[in-house]
Structure 1
Amino acid sequence: MKKTIRGGIAPLALVLLGAMSLAACGGEAADDTDEKAYDTKTATQVADWLVAQAPKGVARNAQYGTDDFGLSADIGIALAQLDGHDAEVETIAKAVTTNQKAYTSPGFGTLTSAGSTAKALVLQQEADLPDSGLLEQLETTVADSGRIADVLEPKNKEAADYSNTIGQSYAVMALTEAESGKAEAAAAFLAGQQCADGWFRVTFAADPEAADQTCEADPKAVADADATAFAVLALQEVDSAEAEKAATAGVEWLKSTQAKDGSFSSATGNVANSNTTGLAGWALGEADEDKAAEKAATWVAEQVVTCGDAAGAVAFDDAALADGNEKGLTKETEGMYRLAAAQALPSLEWLPKGAAPEKSTC
């Protein structure tokens, strides 16, 4: 059965289940003519390409000759949003779990990466694997205020805390799913990072002990659609009036910043791209904002590479799409297409039938 970031049954599955139950009881099934028809071929193509990027569950960075467990987790979480990929998600989750120390305790002064631990636990939960100690490890990174922070080696002056709103969002997802005693505080802190207009910034207050750590107290705060999408996805899972209010405001801000062509732009460089558009489209779809989600999915579908061995990859932007179709991918560029595909894949669930562009001439 398809999983979602919420860990529940997809809305369409509920409709079909209800219709089947009515038929079995001799009643009339609900009229399904109003159900929207979504394209599945494009998502399947992208999913199949992503699966091939993580043989035995691990994405290998050919440029640097290293295993990329963070990207592997991104791929697994993305695949978990679609039907029919339980086996692949489990394979990836087991591989990341096997290597969780290398992923969540990377060294260089970082004893525990809060964001990596949270993402690894979300993946583990999506795969229905037993907790391998990640929950307790994550809980140790959550302060009384609810803010996550990396655990650093005290004597290493080069060590730095890289925790941020995206990691906090993963933490809220994981802690909420686990019904942790830390979940409420983590969610409240995340909701408190929202600025008045509804958006979220990526960074936290520089001083974790500051009395006011809110977005409004940060004169350098910059609206970020990626961070806002992650926060909305996380807060939609939380059963509280504060979280619901924040998620709703985040959705409204995302809708207001969507371009007419359906795309969303990154905060850095203000470039329309598939990573940001995919994440925003996913969040909007989960919030039942179908029209906005469909526009985002349509734009993302136009960034799917259709030529050669790279068919199914997702290009970051128009320039990368041309390169992917004409030149293929290189070990220096493949990571960009992999991450774009992982972040964009869930949004393609809302791609209307007939909206996918025809295959280009290769």
Structure 2
Amino acid sequence: MHHLNRPLRTATVALTSAVLGAGVLTAAPASAEPSPALRSARALANTDSTPSTIAAQWLAGELTNGLMTGPYGPDFGLTIDTGMALSTVAGQGSTVTAINNALEPRIGEYVGDGTKESYAGALAKAAAFARTAKRNPTSYGGINLITRLEERTADVPADPAAQPQAAAFAGRIFDKSEFGNYANVVGQSYAVRALTLANSTEAGAARDFLLKQQCPSGWFRLNFAKADVPNQSCTEGVAGSEADPDATSLAVINLVESGDKSPAVQAALAKAGTWLAARQRGSGAIRGGAGTAEINTNSTAIGGYALGLLKKRDAALKAALWVRKNQPVDKYKCRTALTKDTGAVAYRKDRVNGAKTSGIPADARDEWRRATSQAILGLQFAPASKDRLRIVSVRREARAGDRVQFRVYGLAPSESACMQVKGDFLRVTGKKSGEKIVRRLQLPTGNQRRVALVKTSDDVARTSLRVRN
């Protein structure tokens, strides 16, 4: 969840007014549309756009002047995650443009000044976002992100035999920083995507080095070996080569989005997909690695999204179902303190229970934003309902105080809804099977016709019956 969040840096970058204005006011509107890879994958499944749409609406509302801000100021990494997630959701093009317009003039604060400070993972991620936002990564905020990334990518030596160590880490990204080198496999995967899409001559070496970080069983590790170690490859059973599902999922996503169709990449994707699918639990959840070992929506969502892009439809649907369960929709008579944050996705289910009473705590808001930015991706594969939304009473009339059975049809799997009649209400959740839900509501006093409703985040159905005292 935090693989590309760098330690807080005190150094900021002064940009000239010319650079601040470069290309920002004239930016063409970004589009909010799935990439060709996502479009192709989603065509194989009957999906429900509601959960990703309401998550995107909530997340967009968390932006301040186009940026995600925390206690220490703008969080550029989370802002980029937000922009890339929103770009997959219809209707969010203007928000992606707003993010771009806020981010582009300040990109130097995220990627470094290019001389003393230059951060490879940030350069790669920024370049990937620039392309997503329909901007040019070779002149983004006055910076050539691709050239800078190439400078942070180790060259292939002219004579590999004479320089075996340089040959071993050819293509590997390195930070240039007085704060240390934090480049890792996640940043490497973004670098492969950015360099490949830019037709860089260094793309092949970067890709080959990324593929070395995949162990024979299919997973990718998170951290590189030290630069002076002869073996730069993932080695099962050796400290530092532990499986990391998040790194694996992001490697898959970025390799797919890079468009590299080479046999080596296709073989790596097949192995990674098999490993991720085997790691998925019966519930649909995917447990994270050492830093995210508890079951959570982030690891599950990006894992499900990766499996979806690999066209492993059933695994992607299962993951989306699990993520959707952590998206509370407590509206209408079922409202709680979370109602004003409808669409937000919790990192873990236990976070939902507490927030229903008191709302999202101020110091937890950042976690909900991070969880939701990645949940949007996994929710792209949420299965749709089998039927239109309906509620049916088994009786045409009843006595006041009776508990009458109602049947609800058309709830999507894991979709939250509120059943209600005057004086009584009940939260319900769509079954995995998509079949009808049967529940009872208590009828109020008074001789008159009463309306029973079932309401979801974006739909309502009703029925009525005669009530007699």
TM-score tier after normalising by the smaller chain length: 0.7 to 0.9
Instruction: Give, in angstroms, the shift of residue 308 of structure 1.
Output: 2.2
Contact 2:245 2:276 in 1 (8 A): yes
Q: CA RMSD in A?
A: 2.2
Which of 58, 62, 77 does residue 70 from structure 1 map onto?
Answer: 77
Which of 183, 190, 199 does residue 179 from structure 1 map onto?
Answer: 199
Structure 2 distance, partners of 1:265, 1:359, is 28
Which of 75, 89, 111 does residue 96 from structure 2 map onto?
Answer: 89
Q: Which has the higher contact order (CA 8 A, sep 6+)?
A: 1
Task: Letter of the 2:59 partner, please give it.
Answer: L
Superposed counterparts of 1:251-330, under 5 Å: 251-268=273-290, 270-306=293-329, 307-330=338-361
Instruction: Give, in angstroms, the shift of residue 204 of structure 1.
Output: 0.7
Structure 2 distance, partners of 1:315, 1:246, is 32
The TM-score with structure 1 as length reference comes to 0.86
Q: Write out per-residue CA displacement over residues 135-164 of structure 1, whole angstroms, 9 at most, x where no aligned residue.
A: 1111111112111111124xxxxx211111
Task: Letter of the 1:325 partner, please give it.
Answer: K
Q: If each structure's strand is expressed as a fraction of its own residues, which one has the higher value? A: 2
Contact 2:345 2:372 in 1 (8 A): yes
Structure 1 distance, partners of 2:252, 2:316, is 14
Which of 136, 140, 148 does residue 147 from structure 2 map onto?
Answer: 136
**Residues 137 and 3 from structure 1, CA distance in 2 versus in 1: closer, same or farther, beyond 3 angstroms?**
farther
Which of 38, 46, 68 does residue 37 from structure 1 map onto?
Answer: 46
Q: If each structure's helix is expressed as a fraction of its own residues, which one has the higher value? A: 1
- 1:103 paired with 2:110, answer yes
Which of 218, 221, 229 does residue 210 from structure 1 map onto?
Answer: 229
Structure 2, unpaired ranges of 5+: 1-30, 156-169, 330-337, 385-411, 419-425, 428-469
Instruction: Give, in angstroms, the shift of residue 266 of structure 1.
Output: 1.5
Structure 2 distance, partners of 1:176, 1:69, is 23
Structure 1, unpaired ranges of 5+: 16-34, 154-158
Contact 1:2 1:10 in 2 (8 A): no
Structure 1 distance, partners of 2:415, 2:348, is 16
Contact 1:146 1:185 in 2 (8 A): yes
- 1:149 paired with 2:180, answer no
Contact 1:225 1:276 in 2 (8 A): yes
Structure 2 distance, partners of 1:110, 1:225, is 33
Task: Letter of the 2:254 partner, please give it.
Answer: A
Aligned to 1:250: 272
Which of 115, 122, 131 does residue 116 from structure 1 map onto?
Answer: 122
Structure 2 distance, partners of 1:106, 1:337, is 31
Secondary structure at the residue paired with 2:117? strand
Structure 2 distance, partners of 1:182, 1:272, is 37
Instruction: Give, in angstroms, the shift of residue 245 of structure 1.
Output: 0.8
Aligned to 1:20: none
Secondary structure at the residue paired with 2:53? helix
Task: Letter of the 1:47 partner, please give it.
Answer: A
Aligned to 1:11: 40
Contact 2:41 2:308 in 1 (8 A): no
Secondary structure at the residue paired with 1:146? coil
Secondary structure at the residue paired with 1:151? coil
**Residues 9 and 220 from structure 1, CA distance in 2 versus in 1: closer, same or farther, beyond 3 angstroms?**
closer
Structure 2 distance, partners of 1:352, 1:248, is 24
Which of 405, 412, 415 does residue 357 from structure 1 map onto?
Answer: 415
The percent of aligned pairs where both chains have the same amino acid is: 31
Task: Letter of the 2:222 partner, please give it.
Answer: V
Contact 1:42 1:356 in 2 (8 A): no
Q: How many equivalent pairs are there?
A: 332
Structure 2 distance, partners of 1:327, 1:246, is 46
Contact 2:41 2:311 in 1 (8 A): no
Aligned to 2:399: none
Secondary structure at the residue paired with 1:312? coil
Task: Letter of the 2:119 partner, please give it.
Answer: S
Q: Write out per-residue CA displacement over residues 148-191 of structure 1, whole angstroms, 9 at most, x where no aligned residue.
A: 111124xxxxx211111111111111111111111111111111
Task: Letter of the 1:114 partner, please give it.
Answer: A
Structure 2 distance, partners of 1:202, 1:195, is 11
Contact 2:324 2:415 in 1 (8 A): yes
Higher alpha-carbon deviation: 318-327 or 182-191: 318-327
Structure 1 distance, partners of 2:106, 2:417, is 39
Structure 1 distance, partners of 2:197, 2:93, is 18
